[in-house]
């Protein structure tokens, strides 16, 4: 949740009460990045508090700025506001700068712990980004293990978050999509990130020390849900659409970068069916109905398109 979910041309802002009524147990808002505050953070802190929705905040780490100064600015922006869901360091910046890498993340976290010794502090990141800049850059095991003390919030648009060291499968929050209907959930944007907390409503209360807070319970929709095998997808690049799941057929059809689509199933490559690195999606609906596009394929960035299962049961995880 950031200024992207707030239309500056309207006075209303985000409707956190509506968000809560639809089953959201809490909200984590962008406080800022680098040495700049998000323009909506103060209004969102007040509005979410008025809606009695537990709040957290994240700081988008910018590789161009001193990590200790970023941590100090993060803390100063929040001030005396209580963050029931804690402070989160957002690690995803790929733009070059003088403060890239895990040693600088360490300095950020150490400084934030000094400033907020009693607060929950966690890390938000994606599996591939994290692996590239830790294990991929030769981090010693003892240094990698240091980060385990911080709960991890993983962005992973797949069936479950990837096994990511040092946490393994012990993730706390899973960002399973960035394609929620923003308008439906009270935002002023078309799309909104969706997250699950790993555990039951009671686990949620205990982990975040929420006392007598009662998380909302989602009422299943009256309408017939979509099939369990249906996925929401987003093309990350311009990608070809083919008549079958292989590269053997010429095609003039394309999905454009950032184009949204749905698939009914993930299928193997027709010519190389035992290769787990080749994944194809069977498109349903729209202009490319009943055709195929590669979701993952050797030699390309992974994934080519994100593919997020449309949840059919919320019994295992608490929506956040």
Locus of tokens 């608490």:
318
Helix extents (H) in 116-231: 127-133, 141-146, 201-207
86-91 β-sheet, strand order:
36-37, 27-33, 55-60, 86-91, 121-126, 152-155, 173-181, 191-198, 317-319
Domain range annotation of the chain: 3-219, 231-309
Q: What pLDDT is attached to residue 286?
A: 76
Asked if the model's pLDDT at residue 103 lies above 90, the reply is yes
Q: Which residues have a Cβ under 8 Å from the Cβ of 146 and sit 6 or more positions away?
A: 106
* Residue 60 region by backbone torsions, left for phi larger than 0, else alpha for psi between -120 and 50, else beta: beta
318: pLDDT confidence band, cut at 50, 70 and 90? low
- Residue count of the chain: 320
In the chain the first and final C-alpha atoms are separated, in Å, by: 12
54, 26 contact by CB (below 8 A): yes
User: How far is residue 30's CA from residue 38's CA, in Å, rounded to a whole number?
Assistant: 6
Asked if the model's pLDDT at residue 123 lies above 90, the reply is yes
Q: What pLDDT is attached to residue 221?
A: 38
User: How far is residue 84's CA from residue 101's CA, in Å, rounded to a whole number?
Assistant: 28
Name the token pair of 16.
């956190």
Q: What is the mean pLDDT of the chain?
A: 85
Q: What pLDDT is attached to residue 214?
A: 62
Q: What pLDDT is attached to residue 107?
A: 98
Q: What is the mean pLDDT of residues 43-48?
A: 90
Q: What is the pLDDT of residues 196-212, one digit of tens each?
A: 999 998 899 999 999 87
Q: Assign domain 3-219 one CATH number from 3.20.20.80, 3.30.1300.10, 3.40.630.10, 3.10.450.50.
A: 3.20.20.80
Which CATH code is given to the segment(s) 231-309? 2.30.30
Q: What pLDDT is attached to residue 12?
A: 61
User: How far is residue 158's CA from residue 147's CA, in Å, rounded to a whole number?
Assistant: 24
Spell 225-235 as b/e; 16+ CB within 10 A means b.
eeeeebbbbbb
319: pLDDT confidence band, cut at 50, 70 and 90? low
Percent of the chain beyond pLDDT 90?
Answer: 51
Q: What pLDDT is attached to residue 104?
A: 98
Q: What is the mean pLDDT of residues 66-70?
A: 97
Which of the residue ranges 40-54, 65-79, 176-190 would you say has the lowest mean pLDDT?
Answer: 176-190
Which of the residue ranges 8-12, 20-24, 222-226 would you say has the lowest mean pLDDT?
Answer: 222-226
Asked if the model's pLDDT at residue 77 lies above 50, the reply is yes
Reported as half-sphere exposure (CB side, CA atoms, 13 A), residue 288 has a value of 24
Q: Nearest Cα to 4, choosing from 46, 42, 40, 51?
A: 40
262, 230 contact by CB (below 8 A): yes
């Amino acid at each position: 949740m950031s200024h992207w979910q707030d239309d500056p041309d309207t006075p209303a802002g985000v409707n956190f009460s509506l968000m809560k009524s639809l089953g959201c147990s809490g909200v984590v808002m962008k406080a800022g990045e680098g040495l700049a505050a998000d323009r909506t953070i103060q209004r969102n802190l007040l509005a979410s508090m008025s809606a009695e929705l537990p709040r957290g905040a994240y700081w988008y780490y910018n590789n161009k700025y001193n990590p200790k100064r970023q941590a100090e600015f993060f803390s100063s922006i929040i001030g005396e506001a209580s963050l029931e869901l804690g402070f989160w360091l957002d690690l995803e910046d790929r733009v070059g700068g003088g403060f890239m890498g895990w040693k600088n993340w360490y300095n950020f976290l150490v400084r934030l712990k000094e400033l907020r010794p009693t607060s929950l502090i966690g890390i938000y990141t994606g599996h591939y980004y994290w692996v590239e800049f830790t294990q991929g850059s030769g981090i010693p095991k003892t240094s990698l293990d240091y980060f385990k003390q911080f709960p991890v919030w993983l962005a992973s648009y797949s069936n479950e978050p990837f096994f990511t060291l040092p946490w393994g499968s012990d993730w706390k929050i899973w960002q399973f999509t960035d394609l929620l209907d923003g308008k439906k959930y009270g935002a002023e944007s078309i799309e909104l990130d969706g997250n699950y907390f790993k555990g039951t409503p009671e686990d949620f209360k205990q982990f975040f020390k929420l006392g007598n807070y009662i998380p909302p319970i989602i009422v299943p929709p009256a309408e017939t849900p979509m099939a369990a095998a249906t996925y929401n997808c987003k093309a990350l690049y311009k990608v070809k659409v083919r008549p079958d799941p292989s590269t053997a057929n010429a095609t003039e059809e394309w999905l454009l970068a950032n184009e949204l689509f749905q698939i009914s199933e993930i299928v193997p490559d027709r010519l190389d069916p035992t290769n787990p690195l080749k994944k194809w999606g069977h498109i349903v609906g729209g202009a490319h109905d009943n055709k195929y596009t590669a979701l993952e394929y050797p030699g390309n960035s992974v994934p080519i398109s994100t593919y997020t299962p449309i949840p059919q049961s919320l019994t295992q995880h608490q929506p956040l």
